[in-house]
Amino acid sequence: MKFQAIEKKVIDAEQFLPPDNIPEGVQNVHQTNLGRYLGEVITAQGQNVVVASGEWIVKEAGYEDRYYPIDSGIFDETYQPLEERKVFPGNDLEVIALEETVYPSKEQSVFAVVHHEDPYGGAHEYEFRNSLGFSDGKARYAHGRQRIRFVEKTDTIMLAGLQSEQLVIALIDRTQKLDARFPCEENKEMITALKVFLEMSRRRVKNRQDRGVMGDLKK
C-alpha cells in the first residue's frame, strides 16, 4: 500500500504482523523464548537491522531490495493512507470513509462502498480497517481491510449477502462470551440493546408480512 507523510512524501510501507503478514524484504523471521517475533531487513547502507512485530517496513526509494523499519507509534503520527476515498473508474463505485469513529480513536475505520446510481446511497457493502487493539494509550489500526456485503434486492435480481440480524446475532454471542471472561455492566447493557434491535427487526418483518409487502420493494 502507498502512504503519504504530513510533508507530502509518499512511501511504500507494510506492517510486520507475523506469522500471518510478513512484508517483502523481511528475512530470518523467528519467535523468541518470550513469544515475540523478530526479523531482519537490509538497509540502503547494507546493514542488517532487526525489526519487531508491529513495526512498519518501508521500501527504500530507488532500491529493489533495501528497506528500513519505523516504529508503529511514530508511523501513525507521521503518515496517513494516501487515499481514504477511492474512485474506481470503470467499476462505477467509490469507497467513502464514514465520519463516525470507534472511541477513543479519532481515525475513520469504516467505509461505505457506494455504487453510482444506487438509490440507497451505499447501504449494502462496507469495508473495515482491521484493528490492532489498544496499546500505549491508543487504539490502533492496520491498513489492511476486510469487506462485508449485505443482501440486496433490486427490481431484477437478488444479490446474496448478510442480513443485518445475522450480524447482530454474532455481536450478541461475541459480547456474551467476552462478558463471561471480563464481566461488566456495560457489556450487559450492550447485549440488551442488541436484543432490542432484533425484536424491532422481528416486529418490522411481522408488520410487512401482515400488510402483504414482505419481500417486495414497497413501503
Residue at 219: amino acid letter = K
Q: Which of 36, 33, 34, 39 is nearest to 56 (CA)?
A: 39
pLDDT tens for each residue of 57-80: 999 888 889 999 998 878 877 776
Residue at 90: amino acid letter = G
In this structure, of 6-10, 80-84, 85-89, the range with the lowest mean pLDDT score is 85-89
Q: What percent of the chain has pLDDT over 70?
A: 87
Q: Which three cell numbers stand for residue 108?
A: 475513520
Burial 41-58 (b: 16+ CB within 10 A, else e): bbeeeeeeeebebbbbbb
Question: Do residues 37 and 30 touch, judged by C-beta distance below 8 A?
Answer: yes
Other CB atoms within 10 Å distance of the CB of residue 15: 21
The whole-angstrom separation of Cα 166 and Cα 162 is 7
146 strand-pairing partners: 128
End-to-end CA distance of the chain: 43
Element (H, E) at 131: strand 125-135
pLDDT tens for each residue of 88-139: 444 567 888 898 999 888 888 899 988 777 778 888 889 898 888 887 778 8
Per domain, the residue ranges of the chain are 2-80, 83-162, 164-213
Question: Do residues 179 and 187 touch, judged by C-beta distance below 8 A?
Answer: yes
pLDDT for residue 48? 93
Mean pLDDT of the residues in the chain: 84
Question: Do residues 146 and 138 touch, judged by C-beta distance below 8 A?
Answer: no
pLDDT tens for each residue of 138-154: 888 876 788 889 988 77
